[in-house]
Amino acid sequence: MQTHLATTPFGRRPMTLGLISSQVTAKNIEQGTAVSKWQVFRDIRDAKEALGTTDRALAILNALLTFHRDEELTGEGNLVVFPSNEQLIRRANGMSPATLRRHLANLVVCGLVIRRDSPNGKRFARKGQGGAIEQAYGFDLSPLLARAAEFRDLAHAVAAERKAFRLVKERLTICRRDVVKMIEAAVNENVPGNWRGCQRRYEAIVARLPRTAPRQVLEAIASELEDLWADVHQALESFVKSENTNANESHSERHIQNSNPNFNPTGETKYSSGNKDEAGGTAEHTDNVRSLPRRDLPLGMVLSACPDIVPYAEGGQIRTWRDLAAAADRARPSMGVSPTAWQEAVEVMGAQSAAIVLAAVLQRAEHIRSRGGYLRDLTERARQEKFSVWPMVTALLNARMGALEKAAGAGAGKESQPDGDARTSSGSLEISSALRDSMKKKGW
């Protein structure tokens, strides 16, 4: 005689629609279906947050599976296990009875097992002839077989979400590090740009980052940081490419495109006694450099030769060498001279000579294709003691004097000054008669 299959729990446990849904699902098992019970358990373990179960409940489920003798769960086999609470506690590593009951209820609510309670609530099995089980009261494992594909899909989805979360955290960490260090490098290297604004933009983005956040929030913040990273990286990359271009030009071609033979900053003028190989460092060239005046150039002479530097001075006036150095530092960015090239020039030549060289380069800027590369070339010559600022300034001064004399010969008169100095009608060039005669006498 067939016994009625229990569908409601024993005692004061209520019947719910969730229990009925689990029982309906357990009935939808196709013939011949078989799954590995431990593979199903691993899928449930990976998807436990999505299923709403706990680690202690999974320990009990693991113990229940050990009471099923076969390695596979099949639709033809008996899927009801009926261990006592004492046996479950022993296989669940000594869990307390109250904890056992609480987590057994969790397995039932999550639809992982179904209670098949006997009339008195005891768990046992009734066997027939030959020892075959005719009726069993306990926990039905058929939901594990019926929902095996669902558990597998959930496990894959959880694994994919976990990987995506890990990747977005890696993106966020690397992007934060890159942005901070690139802005710091830009500030330290004096790269032109609104780096203070980039820093404020970074701080505003990071301030919205909560201590714990879902992946979607992290994705949005990471995207904003990557946009900032792209802006900062593009600015630095453009600056580096311009620096490389300047360096390549300084080594592969002449930087001065000048048709005026009077201007040769490396020391040769039209009044020189011969052609010397300056790049080769011959003894004649060394003697030529050493024969130049040992005293410093007069500031007035530098300003007369290089008047274009004056507008960069604070207040439009240069009274001291310090004013000239400050004006040169302000003019440097507009000339395309990098901070490293300028710093190297100051270290090799000294602040005063470096400022004079930059003023001279500015004066002839329209004839020099790469100012930064040209300054590096002069710095290297100065390091080898093959360069002096005197020929550079005197060449510029001679060029300006020649141009003014041509203009004067065309009709622009000169006025005699009480102190014997010569001043052009335009008043743009002042030079003492003694210095003028000395320059002509020495062939400058």
Written as tens digits, the pLDDT of the chain (444 aa) is 445 455 656 555 665 656 656 666 666 777 778 889 999 999 999 999 888 899 999 999 999 999 888 888 887 778 888 888 899 888 888 888 899 989 988 998 888 888 887 777 787 777 777 667 777 788 888 888 888 888 999 999 999 999 999 999 999 999 999 999 999 998 888 888 888 899 999 999 999 888 888 889 999 999 999 999 999 998 888 888 876 665 554 444 444 444 344 444 444 333 333 333 333 334 344 444 544 555 677 888 888 889 999 999 988 889 899 999 999 999 988 888 888 888 899 999 888 999 999 999 999 888 888 888 889 889 999 988 888 888 888 888 888 877 777 776 665 444 444 443 434 333 445 554 545 555 554 454
Does one domain contain both 341 and 411? yes
Last residue of a domain, one of 100, 118, 146: 146
- The pLDDT, as a whole number, for residue 27 is 67
Print the domain residue range for 342. Answer: 283-441
Residue 314 per-residue DSSP state: G
Regarding whether 428 and 287 lie in a shared domain, the answer is: yes
Identify whether residues 38 and 92 lie together within a single domain: yes
Question: Alpha-carbon distance 289 to 266, whole Å?
Answer: 10
Nearest to 10 by CA among 22, 18, 19, 1: 19
Assess whether 241 and 95 both reside in one domain: no
pLDDT at 193: 83
Last residue of a domain, one of 146, 180, 207: 146
391 and 299 in a single domain? The answer is yes
- Within-domain flag for 159: no
| Domain annotation covers residue 262 | no
With respect to residue 323, please indicate whether it lies within any of the assigned structural domains.
Answer: yes
d(CA 225, CA 31): 55
Do residues 120 and 171 share a domain? no
Give the SS3 label for residue 441.
Answer: helix
pLDDT of 220: 92
pLDDT given at position 44: 93
Classify residue 391: in a domain, yes or no: yes
β-bridge mates for residue 133, sequence order: 127
CATH number, position 73: 1.10.10
Q: What is the pLDDT of residue 324?
A: 92
Residue 307 CA: distances (Å) to CA of 203, 351, 370, 408: 44, 19, 21, 20
Same domain assignment for residues 118 and 223: no
**Do residue 181 and residue 123 come from a single domain?**
no
pTM as predicted: 0.47
175 and 230: one domain? yes
The pLDDT value given to residue 155? 93
Is there a domain that residue 268 lies in?
A: no
Length of the chain in residues, anyone?
A: 444
Domain count for the chain? 3
Do 22 and 136 share a domain, yes or no? yes
Helices (DSSP H) in 213-294: which residue ranges? 215-252, 283-290
Is there a single domain that holds both residue 114 and residue 239? no
